[in-house]
Amino acid sequence: MLKMTVGQIHQSLSGYYDVKTQSKVYRTRARGNFRKKNQTPLVGDWVEFKVSDQTEGYILKIMKRKNRLVRPPVANVDFAIIVTAAKEPDFSTNLLDRQLVMLEKNLIRPILYFSKIDLLNSAELSKLKIIAAAYKPYYNCILSLDPKPEEFLGTVENQLGVVMGQTGAGKSTLLNRLKPGLDLKTGEISKALSRGKHTTRKTSLFSLLNNLIADTPGFSSFELADITKEKLGSFFPEFRDRSMECRFRSCLHLNEPGCAVKEAVEKSLILKSRYLNYMQFQKEISAQKPKYRK
């Protein structure tokens, strides 16, 4: 007789899902009707599944999610550690801000970690510190060659987090440092492309200071999705703080007169790169073709 039970997906690899219950881990597969519904189980999902023997089963239902990320593919996320390389691959405020916007949209708390600062000369390091200082009032920013788990998690417990970032930024290196013995593979950087070689092929959870952390594949690009031009500004906390002072309530902070955000940029109270990225995101959103539900 098949037994129905509930658990959380802790690993996804090649169509198999390792689901953990209070007592053990089962290797499962998803029923075919998920494909018909255009649904995919994700690491972090709570699911109902039937046990077919002592170690295997198949997923019948995905429980309601509080959020869902596409890159990395994880559900029910509380916080995210964004690993941003200071060098190799080249530092990009554009990619960093894209990730921050998507996390803000999904109500996920970002933690910024700037890796590979040892590769910077003194002038480059000073410039990076100025940039990090502009993010620090709104996000936990960490610049350290030997970061400790407490710097990222503090007293947080029983939450699910992801480590995300560009391929080659140093996600696996960071996780190996935070949890000795994890022994995740690390990759070299392609000098020609300034991109890393993909070393993480699967998505999986492991425990760290009474929390669950997802080690996920890296990426070389990051698209904004399901964001409107009217909502975009609310995902920049420093824009959100000043928008109430704009002359027009519906101000998009582009061409409108009396814009408090543009004034703050001119006074260097908002990082110029943040505003330039915002303008680019607005152009991309405006250029997107509308999606119609079938």
* CATH number reported for the structural domain that contains residue 159 in this entry: 3.40.50.300
Q: Residue 70 in contact with residue 99, Cβ under 8 Å?
A: no
Strand pairing category for 16-20 and 109-115 = unpaired
Q: Give dist(CA 219, CA 39) in Å, integer.
A: 22
Same domain, 89 and 11: no
Neighbours of 122 (CB within 10 A): 7
Q: Can you give the CATH number for the domain in which 57 is found?
A: 2.40.50.140
Same domain, 199 and 94: yes
Tell me what pLDDT residue 189 has: 33
Q: How many CA atoms are closer than 13 Å to the CA of 146, on its beta-carbon side?
A: 0
187 is in an annotated binding site: no
- Which pTM was predicted? 0.85
Tell me what pLDDT residue 193 has: 33
Same domain, 105 and 122: yes
Domain boundary among 157, 187, 215: 215
Q: Give dist(CA 158, CA 39) in Å, integer.
A: 27
Q: pLDDT tens for residues 238-277?
A: 999 999 999 999 999 999 999 999 999 999 999 999 999 9
Tell me what pLDDT residue 240 has: 95
251 is in an annotated binding site: yes
253 is in an annotated binding site: yes
Q: pLDDT tens for residues 166-201?
A: 888 888 889 888 888 776 665 443 343 333 444 445
Tell me what pLDDT residue 65 has: 95
Residue 148 belongs to a domain: yes
117 is in an annotated binding site: yes
Q: Residue 137 in contact with residue 47, Cβ under 8 Å?
A: no
Tell me what pLDDT residue 206 has: 87
Range of the domain at 54: 3-62
Same domain, 173 and 54: no
| pLDDT-flagged residues of the chain (< 50) | 187-200, 294
Instruction: Please list, residue by residue across 27-49, b when 16 or more beta carbons sit within 10 angstroms of its beta carbon and e when fewer do.
Output: ebbbbeebeeeeeebbbbbbbeb
97 is in an annotated binding site: no
171 is in an annotated binding site: yes
- Per the rule left: phi > 0, alpha: psi between -120 and 50, beta: everything else, 253 is left
Number of domains within the chain: 3
170 is in an annotated binding site: yes
259 is in an annotated binding site: yes
Q: Residue 167 in contact with residue 196, Cβ under 8 Å?
A: yes
- Among residues 168, 164, 174, the alpha carbon closest in space to that of 198 is found at 168
Tell me what pLDDT residue 66 has: 95
